[in-house]
Chains A and B, each alone.
Chain A
Amino acid sequence: METVEKLKGSKMVRSFCHVCPFRCPIEVYVKDRKVVYTRGNPDNPNTRGKRCVKGLASIWLAYDPDRLKYPMVRVGERGEGKFKRITWDEAFNIIAEKLKEIKEKYGPESVVSIDHGQGCVTFYRSFLYLLYGSPNVYDHTAACDATFDTACITLFGTFWAIEDYENAKYILLWGKEPLEAPRIVGFLQGLMDARDRGAKLVVVNPRLSKTAEKADEWIPIRPGTDGALALAMAKTMIDEDLYDKEFVANYCYGFDEFKEHLNEKGYTPEWAEKITGVPASTIRRIAEEFATTKPAVSSAYHGFACYTNGFDSMRAVLLLNVLTGNVDKPGSLLLTGSPQGLDPPLNPPIKVPEEERAKIEKPSLREALGFFVAPDLPSALLPKVILEGEPYPVKALILSQINPVMSDANTKLWIEALKALEFSVAIDIYLSETALYCDIVLPDACYFERYDILQGFNHSPMVLYAEPAVPPPGEAKPIYEIVKGIAEKMGYGKYFNWKSEEEWMRNIIEGLPFTLDELKRKGFWIGNPKYRKYEDGLKTPSGKVEIYSMLMEVAGHNPLPEFKEPKVVPDEKYPFRLISARMPFHANLVTQNIPMLMDIENENWAEINRKDAEKYDIKNGDYIIIESPLDSIKVKARVTEGIVPGVIAVIHGFGFGHWSMGNTARGKGANVNKLIDTYVDPVSGAVAYNECKVRVRKA
């Protein structure tokens, strides 16, 4: 890079992006303490030298004048936004005192933490879990991958699975949008290359999404009914004798029960046609094509699972891979080992001997609420827990780069709950809407400003490394220093007395087959991929792929997938179903203060079918009012042919409409989450964002 005039005299620093939790490894070029250029790590298969638009524009985070710079304590009412600057020492003292007091009064489990899976969170997860003794340490999973994880856990005993687009000949996607929500950029090219080689791409989605645009076939479906379509496809494959008998016989558990169950319920294509709006002939044809083209992959993600029936739909969609033997082979659905493919997983950064660890006495809130199979807390239920004190009192929240006031359903209820807390801490890079209601606000470092080690998302085990490129703004600190400060005040200093960051980084990778120096040199480590892991036995109770899930049976759920209608059904008064969807150039609610991205579109919009729009005299670009039984929003309409009639899709539904954050973000567009009542999937605990009926009128 020395031959590039602009980059002369710059230093290259290894890092990984954390604008979204998919962590693409990158190279950051720094000159005069400024980030001047970034690119994807060219040697890494997840990036192939590229970055997505969100990651690329996030260079702004290192410059943004609206970033939090000092620790602050709330002086006004909660939500009023009045804070006073304090020193770190004062902040650590207040937090330590409060945590001690709450532990004595209500027990350690009354302190709950939620984060965004960003780097270094293992520090306070370890601190709270190992030393303080709270079992309530959570990620943002319920708003994201909870349903997908849970389906993988029950079916395959793995936490995650990855689609091998590159080698597939038939790709069937259900509300999984690699092109509309670009995450791991390398996979996009894989998908495009597969298309060039003649792979067929079929997209099931109520909207003509960016992925559907590129599909050979777009199957517009009545929202929330994907499970019916997948089950009818499964029945077709079995009835027409197209399933992989060898795979099912040797590596699966409960096929006969499933076959009988499908017959008993009468899940025929004709039955599914009435529910989904997809012709029975199409269902048969897609089932036949999928079963006879190998290798093939069928996958789904969060979008289509945002219903109370989401988990069973997800299971049914993934089961199509199982029936056709498209599991853990090149070009199919690849299973990853313990969290994200690393076995053994990374260690906590601090070492606490077994006998010095805090005893966890109460069950975690997740278990106490009855979500035994779910990977994480059903966050949408937390406000009710806080307000009612059931199953046990929750008195304090620690929130790290997470903004549930905007990102979870039912905004009003969340605000009420935050007001009812005894103590709350927000660690963030902006003064988020949630931080407005917190007692202490701490300025975090962004991903350009800290050391970190995390696992990458790949079929092969992968570990990523990051070091700071620039110093954090003002007095902002990376999480590890924040947790260290709090821990010292609480008498746990001895676990945090590292001399350099290398010490805790070595702890993290202990036992893994590479050294810290090797990791630093390349910026990542990648192991060899392993296929056909089912041959050695999986981590399900039966050791096989569980079509009939014993885990579900034990947890008191139906061990076989069935179809139920979503709970909320549009009616005469509220004739439309509201769904939320993505735009490729924003990462949920974290990128709205980046001027470059806001220059592309500075407010979000609602898509409505032309026929519906004509009924209400709505023209493209008009402002409309969308009303649910809970609240209303005003948003710009985009009239299109590319959406199922009777559906309104608010694009980037919960990223716009900020009333805090920063100057660029504030007051642009509308947040749909205040329209949505509290519904969660009963198995995975995922927030059911699409369980919402609305009516519209011209503004």
Chain B
Amino acid sequence: MSTRKGFFVDIERCIKCHACEIACRVWNGINVPSYRTVMEIENGVFPRVERTNVSIACMHCEEPYCMAACPTKAIYKREDGVVLVDKDKCIGCRLCSWVCPFGAPKYGPDLKMQKCTLCSDRPDWMPRACEEVCPTGAIVYGTVDYLEKVAKERKGQRLISLLRGKKAALYILP
């Protein structure tokens, strides 16, 4: 059993209301950038138009590019799989944000990088800030095994990061 944790984002449910972004900021400090980004993609021609919304945060990858790229080894992977930034070591060079396929690390007002900590300061019984607020229940947090189960139920797929096939801990509906 893997202890690695991550998010499942159900794009069938995401409405791009940005509540996850704001919840992240309210919990982590309203002066920091949100660790989540919400986007929409439009396809088709009137009247057959489709829009897809998706909320993206750090995937806490198995082998994170950001960690590999960090020149001062400020980015590290905790035993439970959570990828974190050691602010003492970070020099704010932003290399991590360039190599991350998801644009997850953000440059903060303290001139250091910041990123999703999987709400490490919340106990396990408490939902993550973004998950807690999502009004449509699009965001689910849990162990990779649990997410595999949720993904199967909701006909979701694991998102494989493109370059080297390193598994990212996010699941998304097709």
Q: Is B88 on the interface with A (CB-CB < 8 A)?
A: no
Q: Is B68 on the interface with A (CB-CB < 8 A)?
A: no
B53 touches A6 (CB 8 A): no
**Complex interface: chain A residues within 8 A of B78 (CB):** none
Size class of the B contact interface (CB-based, 8 Å): 20 to 34
Per-position binary interface string of chain B over residues 47-69, scored 1 when its CB falls under 8 Å from any chain A CB and 0 otherwise: 10111010000000000000000
Closest B residue to A39 by CB, please name it: B132
Task: Decide yes or no: A56 and B23 within 8 Å by CB, A208-B49, A642-B49 being known contacts.
Answer: yes
Interface hits, A1-23 → B, CB 8 Å: 3-6
**Complex interface: chain B residues within 8 A of A595 (CB):** 30
B16 touches A584 (CB 8 A): yes
**Which one of B105-113, B120-128, B162-170 is at the A interface?**
B120-128
A213 touches B51 (CB 8 A): yes
A56 touches B19 (CB 8 A): yes
Per-position binary interface string of chain A over residues 569-595, scored 1 when its CB falls under 8 Å from any chain B CB and 0 otherwise: 000000000000000110000000001
Q: Is A679 on the interface with B (CB-CB < 8 A)?
A: no
Task: Decide yes or no: A213 and B47 within 8 Å by CB, A59-B26, A192-B137 being known contacts.
Answer: no
Smallest Cβ distance from B28 to chain A, in angstroms? 10
B46 touches A642 (CB 8 A): yes
Q: Is B79 on the interface with A (CB-CB < 8 A)?
A: no
B47 touches A220 (CB 8 A): yes
A641 touches B135 (CB 8 A): no
Closest A residue to B52 by CB, please name it: A213
Smallest Cβ distance from A182 to chain B, in angstroms? 5
Task: Decide yes or no: A60 and B46 within 8 Å by CB, A4-B122, A192-B136 being known contacts.
Answer: no
Q: Is A286 on the interface with B (CB-CB < 8 A)?
A: no
Instruction: Please measure, in the bound complex, the distance between the C-alpha atom of A196 and the C-alpha atom of B137, giving whole angstroms.
Output: 12
Instruction: Please measure, in the bound complex, the distance between the C-alpha atom of A554 and the C-alpha atom of B8, giving whole angstroms.
Output: 57
Q: Is B1 on the interface with A (CB-CB < 8 A)?
A: no
**Complex interface: chain B residues within 8 A of A182 (CB):** 15, 17, 135
Instruction: Please measure, in the bound complex, the distance between the C-alpha atom of A214 and the C-alpha atom of B19, giving whole angstroms.
Output: 18
Smallest Cβ distance from A480 to chain B, in angstroms? 29
Smallest Cβ distance from A213 to chain B, in angstroms? 5
B50 touches A584 (CB 8 A): no
From the candidates A5, A50, A57, name the one contacting B135 in the complex (CB within 8 A). A50
Interface hits, A210-228 → B, CB 8 Å: 210, 213-214, 218, 220
Q: Is B74 on the interface with A (CB-CB < 8 A)?
A: no
Q: Is B133 on the interface with A (CB-CB < 8 A)?
A: yes
Instruction: Please measure, in the bound complex, the distance between the C-alpha atom of A52 and the C-alpha atom of B21, giving whole angstroms.
Output: 12
Smallest Cβ distance from B50 to chain A, in angstroms? 7
Q: How many residues of A contact B (CB 8 A)?
A: 48
From the candidates B17, B51, B121, B123, name the one contacting A642 in the complex (CB within 8 A). B51
Instruction: Please measure, in the bound complex, the distance between the C-alpha atom of A4 and the C-alpha atom of B122, giving whole angstroms.
Output: 6
B22 touches A641 (CB 8 A): no
Residue of B49, B126, B134 with highest tally of chain A CB at under 10 A? B49
B15 touches A179 (CB 8 A): yes
Q: Is B27 on the interface with A (CB-CB < 8 A)?
A: yes
From the candidates B51, B53, B121, name the one contacting A5 in the complex (CB within 8 A). B121
Residue of A57, A597, A611, A645 with highest tally of chain B CB at under 10 A? A57
A640 touches B42 (CB 8 A): yes
Q: Is A189 on the interface with B (CB-CB < 8 A)?
A: yes
Task: Decide yes or no: A52 and B19 within 8 Å by CB, A192-B13, A609-B46 being known contacts.
Answer: yes
From the candidates B17, B25, B46, B133, name the one contacting A596 in the complex (CB within 8 A). B25
Smallest Cβ distance from B126 to chain A, in angstroms? 6
Per-position binary interface string of chain B over residues 17-45, scored 1 when its CB falls under 8 Å from any chain A CB and 0 otherwise: 11101110111001000000000001011
Closest A residue to B153 by CB, please name it: A196
Instruction: Please measure, in the bound complex, the distance between the C-alpha atom of A179 and the C-alpha atom of B12, giving whole angstroms.
Output: 13
Task: Decide yes or no: A188 and B30 within 8 Å by CB, A56-B19, A641-B45, A645-B46 being known contacts.
Answer: no
B123 touches A56 (CB 8 A): no
**Complex interface: chain B residues within 8 A of A3 (CB):** 123
Task: Decide yes or no: A57 and B26 within 8 Å by CB, A208-B51, A641-B49 being known contacts.
Answer: yes
**Complex interface: chain A residues within 8 A of B18 (CB):** 53, 584-585, 600
B136 touches A210 (CB 8 A): no
Name 6 A/B residue pairs within 8 A (Cβ), A-sorted: A4-B126, A39-B132, A56-B23, A213-B15, A218-B49, A220-B47
Known A-B contacts: A56-B26, A220-B46. Give 18 more (CB < 8 A): A50-B134, A51-B133, A53-B21, A59-B30, A182-B135, A188-B135, A195-B12, A214-B12, A214-B15, A220-B47, A584-B18, A585-B19, A596-B25, A596-B30, A600-B21, A641-B42, A641-B49, A642-B46
The 4 closest A-B pairs by CB, nearest first: A53-B19, A584-B17, A641-B49, A641-B46
